[in-house]
């Protein structure tokens, strides 16, 4: 065990981690070795209820028999073959399945391997399509993304979600992206102002996850979709976090009857088993790439070695079926109600400014005092400490700043939902009063 930790400290570079703190008293290294159902088990045998679905992707928990079996069966055939110049059975079957499940006429699927790359390819499709349709001199070059957008960490995605606090070092590499305000009138005004120069609007529909589980006002998505269409631009919905029933419906856009031109999926696609993502587009988006002369201009020059990986697609086929079965049995709706009931008392807690929830995406915002509100000093790392308290008591949490996130898998029992919420409450009680006394 000590050897493993020493090797971690010597060789691993963890994402979004300050390595001056990693391994210290506030950030002890926990090494996960296996899982059972909804719990992860570390090398010491300690168990952690995975209340964040391992960063929002293990929608069905861990070691799901149907997904395990599908991967084993695929291993007996072939683990990977390229989609460049060849096709593959699981990739075809998954593309057809997604076409059947996605709203409207979203039916053409480009596979990549992460949420960021799903967005990256969507951007490139939109930009290249504008040139194909309107010619190289097209003014449609302008992109709009929401305030505090997060779409991943490749440079295109960073440009969409540019934040001086995080990305200053890359400022000279990021391309300009206009900001879409979060209120309906402001958003419509920004879209109208861009007019014929607008290439695409990119947004997370209904809930901005990484921004702190910010829930959009009802009608916002539909209004943005309508204004985008009126401007002759494309709507790219990033459902990397919201897709696959996370908001209580299969896709968040369905809440407002919106069919985007491009839809980005990842995280829950394989039930969190393997890195696979999909960018699904309508025939109108795809056709300019498939008509006219067979020259380079109409080829989408994008691809990854593991595009359409067979094991990933096999896992996704099983995960999507499993989740559809749960939803059809009413378990998704029942669990959502249970979660809402368990969370209700937290809203009155003196250190909880707001409980934001849409479906299974939950953000509990912590404050030193509701009056003001008075926030904790950033250096106090209150969210981090509450999460650690949860972990020390057997529930895995990960905050966004001082917003405690819950994103339970659909495989949670009612009792596990209550355990997860209770862990947040106990963590707040243990950490916040003292932190509020000492905050500046």
Residues facing 400 on adjacent strands: 403
Residue numbers 145-164 binding ligand PLP by CB under 6 A:
150-152
Tell me how far apart the alpha carbons of residues 90 and 311 are, in angstroms, rounded to a whole number: 8
C-alpha separations of 262 from 95, 124, 126, 285 in Å = 14, 11, 9, 8
Residue numbers 224-263 binding ligand PLP by CB under 6 A:
238, 240-241
* Total residues in contact with ligand PLP, by rule CB under 6 A: 14
User: Residue 230 CB, nearest distance to ligand PLP (Å)?
Assistant: 25
User: Residue 223 CB, nearest distance to ligand PLP (Å)?
Assistant: 20
User: Residue 266 CB, nearest distance to ligand PLP (Å)?
Assistant: 5
Number of helices (H) and strands (E) in the chain: give both, helices first: 14, 16
Tell me how far apart the alpha carbons of residues 136 and 144 are, in angstroms, rounded to a whole number: 20
Q: Is there binding between residue 126 and ligand PLP (CB under 6 A)?
A: no
Nearer to ligand PLP, 114 or 263 (CB): 114
Q: Is there binding between residue 114 and ligand PLP (CB under 6 A)?
A: yes
Q: Give 50's contacts (C-beta < 8 A, 6+ positions apart).
A: 35, 38, 39, 40, 58, 61, 62, 396, 409
Q: Which range binds ligand PLP by CB under 6 A, 109-117, 138-146, 245-253, 284-292?
A: 109-117
Q: Is there binding between residue 209 and ligand PLP (CB under 6 A)?
A: yes
Tell me how far apart the alpha carbons of residues 139 and 130 are, in angstroms, rounded to a whole number: 9
Residues facing 48 on adjacent strands: 40
Nearer to ligand PLP, 145 or 188 (CB): 145
| Contact criterion met (CB below 8 Å) for 394 and 369 | no
User: Residue 113 CB, nearest distance to ligand PLP (Å)?
Assistant: 8
| Contact criterion met (CB below 8 Å) for 350 and 437 | no
User: Residue 384 CB, nearest distance to ligand PLP (Å)?
Assistant: 18
Q: Is there binding between residue 120 and ligand PLP (CB under 6 A)?
A: no
Q: Is there binding between residue 266 and ligand PLP (CB under 6 A)?
A: yes
* Cβ atoms < 10 Å from Cβ of 137: 6
Q: Is there binding between residue 317 and ligand PLP (CB under 6 A)?
A: no
C-alpha separations of 55 from 98, 228, 420 in Å = 23, 31, 15
Tell me how far apart the alpha carbons of residues 38 and 417 are, in angstroms, rounded to a whole number: 11
Q: Which range binds ligand PLP by CB under 6 A, 60-68, 98-106, 114-122, 128-136?
A: 114-122
Q: Which range binds ligand PLP by CB under 6 A, 104-112, 144-152, 291-299, 320-328?
A: 144-152
Residue numbers 68-97 binding ligand PLP by CB under 6 A:
none
User: Residue 30 CB, nearest distance to ligand PLP (Å)?
Assistant: 21
Nearer to ligand PLP, 114 or 190 (CB): 114
User: Residue 116 CB, nearest distance to ligand PLP (Å)?
Assistant: 3
Give the residue among 406, 398, 150, 405 at the shortest CA–CA distance from 264: 150
Contact residues for ligand PLP (CB under 6 A)?
114-116, 119, 150-152, 204, 209-210, 238, 240-241, 266
């Amino acid at each position: 065990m000590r050897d493993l930790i020493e090797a971690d400290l010597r060789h691993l570079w963890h994402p979004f981690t300050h390595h001056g703190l990693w391994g210290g008293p506030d950030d002890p290294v926990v090494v996960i070795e296996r899982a059972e159902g909804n719990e992860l088990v570390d090398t010491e045998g300690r168990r952690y209820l995975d209340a964040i679905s391992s960063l929002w992707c293990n929608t069905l928990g861990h070691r799901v028999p149907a997904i395990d079996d599908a991967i084993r069966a695929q291993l007996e055939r072939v683990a990977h073959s390229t989609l460049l110049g060849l096709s593959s059975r699981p990739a075809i079957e998954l593309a057809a399945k997604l076409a059947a499940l996605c709203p409207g006429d979203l039916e053409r699927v480009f596979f990549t391997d992460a949420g960021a790359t799903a967005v990256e390819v969507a951007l490139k499709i939109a930009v290249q399509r504008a040139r194909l349709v309107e010619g190289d001199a097209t003014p449609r070059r302008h992109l709009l993304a929401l305030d505090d957008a997060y779409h991943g960490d490749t440079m295109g995605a960073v440009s969409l979600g540019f934040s001086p606090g995080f990305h200053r070092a890359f400022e000279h590499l990021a391309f300009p992206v206009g900001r879409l305000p979060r209120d309906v009138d402001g958003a419509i005004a920004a879209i109208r102002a861009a007019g014929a120069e607008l290439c695409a609007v990119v947004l997370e529909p209904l809930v901005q996850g990484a921004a702190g589980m910010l829930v959009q006002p009802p009608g916002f998505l539909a209004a943005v979709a309508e204004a985008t269409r009126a401007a002759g631009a494309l709507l790219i919905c990033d459902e990397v976090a919201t897709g696959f029933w996370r908001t209580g419906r299969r896709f968040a856009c369905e809440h407002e009857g919106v069919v985007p031109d491009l839809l980005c999926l990842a995280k829950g696609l394989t039930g969190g088993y393997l890195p696979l993502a999909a960018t699904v587009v309508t025939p109108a988006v795809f056709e300019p790439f498939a008509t006219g002369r067979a020259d380079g201009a109409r080829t989408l020059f994008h691809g990854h070695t593991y595009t359409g990986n067979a094991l990933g697609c096999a896992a996704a086929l099983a995960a999507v079926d499993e989740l559809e079965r749960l939803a059809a049995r009413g378990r998704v709706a029942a669990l959502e109600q249970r979660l809402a009931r368990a969370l209700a008392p937290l809203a009155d807690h003196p250190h909880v400014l707001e409980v934001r929830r849409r479906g299974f995406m939950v953000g509990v915002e912590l404050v030193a005092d509701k009056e003001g509100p008075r926030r904790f000093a950033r250096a106090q790392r209150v969210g981090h400490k509450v999460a650690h308290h949860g972990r020390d008591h057997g529930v895995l949490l990960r905050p966004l700043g001082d917003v405690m996130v819950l994103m339970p898998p659909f495989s949670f029992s009612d009792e596990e939902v209550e355990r997860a919420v209770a862990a947040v409450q106990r963590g707040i009680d243990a950490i916040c009063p003292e932190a509020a006394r000492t905050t500046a």
